[in-house]
Amino acid sequence: MPTVHRSVVYDWLRHDKKFPHVWCPGCGLGILLGSLVRALAEGGYDKNQVVLVSGIGCSGRLPVYVDVGSVHTTHGRALTFATGIKLAKPALKVIVVMGDGDATAIGGNHLIHAARRNLDLTAIIVNNLTYGMTGGQYSPTTPLGAKATTAPYGHSEPSFDISALTVTAGASFVARSTVYHVTQLDQMLGQAIKKKGFGVVEVLSPCHTNYGRQNRLGSQLEMMKGYKKQAVRMERWDKLSPAEREGRFAVGVLADREYPTFLETYQGAVERALAARREG
């Protein structure tokens, strides 16, 4: 019998959802989508036990293409819906896709509390340094001095380091990669999805349509090459001087630790409640 080769894409993407996708040609979200389904296939997950949740923005449109339960929620609130889903059905693998504005501006409060609570969720935060869907306004990760449609004279605020923020807030697993470093991205998504507790993967992804154009960063290809030049592996990053770190960023795993998860600690409360009832 001939071997039938079924690709990961065929297995994991919806057949009844029309392509092409909504993103601009050259956008990194398509690469992330590929990386995500490879990580899911590699992890051997059951499609019926995976739920993808997203907020609003370009990244919010990602789950609809994947053949799993998908929930496209309100702006910034994806983690709150995901929290309800996970608590309702702890066996489900709940993965949340958000953008930088989505996760750290309007949803910033939910992000730090989800990390602190350490519920088993995977948060993929696509960081393109801008609000892409609304036309390139500045976000919490837009660098100081950069141009945006709401910062025509240069941005006046410093930016968030999403990974450092979630490490501090208490996430079990935090990693950063880019859509250029696809092999690494596949691995990190796999690790984060597998990890017990709250896992974060910050994914740098170019928005040449808005951020790149306004800041004269060239084509999508040139922006991707920029990631290649600027990204430094975590092991090397630690040895760099502040001057050497200028204009560069670290990729790799920032935190991988065993903290009690919400479901574990809540189970303790359930047992104490039941014991109290028995004692009457």
Partner 1 sequence: MAAESSKTAGKGAGKTASRSGRKGQARLLQGNEAASLGALAAGCNFFAGYPITPASEITEFMSRELPARGDPFIQMEDEIASIGACVGASLAGRKAMTATSGPGFSLMQENLGYACIAETPLVVVNVMRGGPSTGLPTNVAQGDVQQARWGTHGDHPAIVFCPSSVSECFELMVRAFNMAERFRNPVIFLADEMVAHLREKVALPAEGDLEVIDRRRPTVPPDWYVPYKTDGSLIPRLADLGEGYRYHVTGLVHDERGFPTRRADEVEPFYARLFDKVSRHFDELMLTKEYSLDDAEIVLIAYGCTARSCRAAVRLGRERGLKLGLLQLLTLWPFPRQAVERALAGRRAALVPELNMGQISREVKRVNDGRTQVIRHSKMDGTMITPEEILGRMREVA
Contact positions toward partner 1, by CB under 8 A? 16-17, 47-49, 51, 53, 63-64, 67-74, 77, 79-89, 91-92, 109-110, 113, 266, 269-270, 272-274, 276-277
What are phi and psi for residue 94, nearest 5 degrees?
Answer: -110, 120
The dihedral sign for the CA sequence 202, 208, 214, 219? positive
Give the nearer residue to partner 1 in terms of CB position, either 113 or 194.
113
Give the nearer residue to partner 1 in terms of CB position, either 14 or 248.
14
Burial 19-55 (b: 16+ CB within 10 A, else e): eebebeebbbbbbbbbbbbbbbbeeebeeeebbbbbb
Question: Angle 108-117/162-169 helices, nearest 10 degrees?
Answer: 40
| Minimum distance from residue 218 beta carbon to partner 1 (Å) | 32
Q: Which residues contact 153 (CB under 8 A, 6 or more apart)?
A: none
| Minimum distance from residue 110 beta carbon to partner 1 (Å) | 6
| Minimum distance from residue 220 beta carbon to partner 1 (Å) | 25
Give the nearer residue to partner 1 in terms of CB position, either 18 or 239.
18
| Minimum distance from residue 13 beta carbon to partner 1 (Å) | 12
Burial 164-177 (b: 16+ CB within 10 A, else e): ebbbebbbbbbbbb
| Minimum distance from residue 65 beta carbon to partner 1 (Å) | 10
Cα(87)–Cα(83) distance, integer angstroms? 6
Residue 27 DSSP SS3: coil
Size (the chain), residues: 280
Give the nearer residue to partner 1 in terms of CB position, either 77 or 155.
77
| Minimum distance from residue 210 beta carbon to partner 1 (Å) | 22
| Minimum distance from residue 117 beta carbon to partner 1 (Å) | 8
Give the nearer residue to partner 1 in terms of CB position, either 69 or 143.
69
Name the nearest CA neighbour of 32 among 194, 185, 225. 185
What are phi and psi for residue 9, nearest 5 degrees?
Answer: -60, -45
Give the nearer residue to partner 1 in terms of CB position, either 78 or 188.
78
Name the nearest CA neighbour of 176 among 121, 224, 96, 231. 231
Give the nearer residue to partner 1 in terms of CB position, either 93 or 176.
93
Give the nearer residue to partner 1 in terms of CB position, either 145 or 268.
268
| Minimum distance from residue 196 beta carbon to partner 1 (Å) | 18
Burial 87-116 (b: 16+ CB within 10 A, else e): eeeeebbbbbbbbbbbbbbbbbebbbebbb
